[in-house]
Structure 1
Amino acid sequence: MIEGIYSFLDDLFGGYIVQHPLLAITFAGFVIGGSYTLIYYFFTDVEKTRKLQEMAKQIQKEMREAQKSGDEKKIRKVQQKQMELMKMQSEMMRDTMIPMLLTLPIFWIFFGWLRRWYAEVAIAKSPFNFFLFDWFHSMYHSALMPDELGYFGWYILSSYIIGMVMRKFLDMG
């Protein structure tokens, strides 16, 4: 079954896979990053998330003020609010499990397909030796040089950028 999906992706991307690896991985990163963002947008309550974040900031501020004043009664009240906030945050975490379970197969399919084509291929070259590239390549015993970025790094960059832009566009905070 997975080979059928990989064949479909090969046909979909056509000659770009071999001739233009940078474009193919960028497009894959945009598709995956965009689909993640859209799935999270439709399956999570953005307003509820904002309210919880605002509430957490307010509680932290109250706790700092209570600790400065040294009022034990205020500290206990704020701690009670923190417990309520933690309950709401755990409910929110359960709500985010559905999008995660939906996006995980998409990631594994695209990631496996990209690995088939670009396992030890330098996709982008940095104008300088970047210590993180060297650390990452040594950790995975890669043949890439410290100034080269493989498919995984380029995929992360492209999917992160499109996700960031879409989150801003969809006002997801």
Structure 2
Amino acid sequence: MIEGIYQLLDNIFGGYIVQHPLLAITVAGFVIGGSYTLIYYFFTDIEKTRKIQKMAKEIQKEMKEAQKSGDEKKLRKVQQKQMELMKMQSEMMRQQMVPMLLTLPIFWIFFGWLRRWYAEVAIVKAPFNFFIFDWFHKMYHSALGPDELGYFGWYILSSYIIGMVLRKFLDMG
């Protein structure tokens, strides 16, 4: 089954897989980053999330004031509000699990497909040695140099960028 999906992806991307790995991985990152952002947008209540974040900041401010003043009664009230906030946050976490579960198969399919083609291929070469690349490559015994970024690093960057742009465009904060 998975091999059929990989074959479909090979057919869709055609010659770009071998001739233009940067483009193929960028498109894959955009597809996954974009799909995750759109699924998150449609399956979560953005206004409720903002309300909870605002409430958390207010409660944190009230807690600091209550601790400075030493008012036990005020401190208990704030702690009660914190308990209510925690219940709301746990509800939001459950709501955010749906987009994650929907996008996880998409991620694993694309990730497996990319790994099949680009396991030890340098996708991007930086004009300088970047110590984090070197540290990461040594940790995973990679043949890539300290100035090279593989498919996974480029995929993360491209999916992050499209996610940021879409979040800004959709006013998701």
| Short-chain TM bin | over 0.9
Residue 73 in 1 paired to residue 96 in 2?
A: no
Aligned-partner residue type, residue 70 of structure 1: G
Whole-Å separation in 1 of the counterparts to 2:143 and 2:82: 49
Aligned-partner residue type, residue 42 of structure 1: F
Aligned residues: 173
Calculate the TM-score normalised by the size of structure 1: 0.99
Whole-Å separation in 2 of the counterparts to 1:61 and 1:31: 40
Q: Deviations over 1:68-125 (max 9, x none)?
A: 1111111111111001000000001111111111000000000000000000000001
Whole-Å separation in 2 of the counterparts to 1:38 and 1:162: 11
Q: Which residue of 2 aligns with 1:2?
A: 2
Shift of 1:43: 0.4
Unaligned runs of 5+ in 2: none
Indicate the RMSD between aligned Cα atoms, in angstroms.
0.5
Unaligned runs of 5+ in 1: none
Whole-Å separation in 1 of the counterparts to 2:53 and 2:27: 33
Whole-Å separation in 2 of the counterparts to 1:79 and 1:126: 50
Whole-Å separation in 2 of the counterparts to 1:25 and 1:118: 9
Q: Which residue of 2 aligns with 1:38?
A: 38
Q: Which residue of 1 aligns with 2:131?
A: 131
Runs of 4+ residues over 6 Å off in structure 1: none
Whole-Å separation in 1 of the counterparts to 2:15 and 2:89: 47
Q: Deviations over 1:128-164 (max 9, x none)?
A: 1111111111111100001100000000000000000
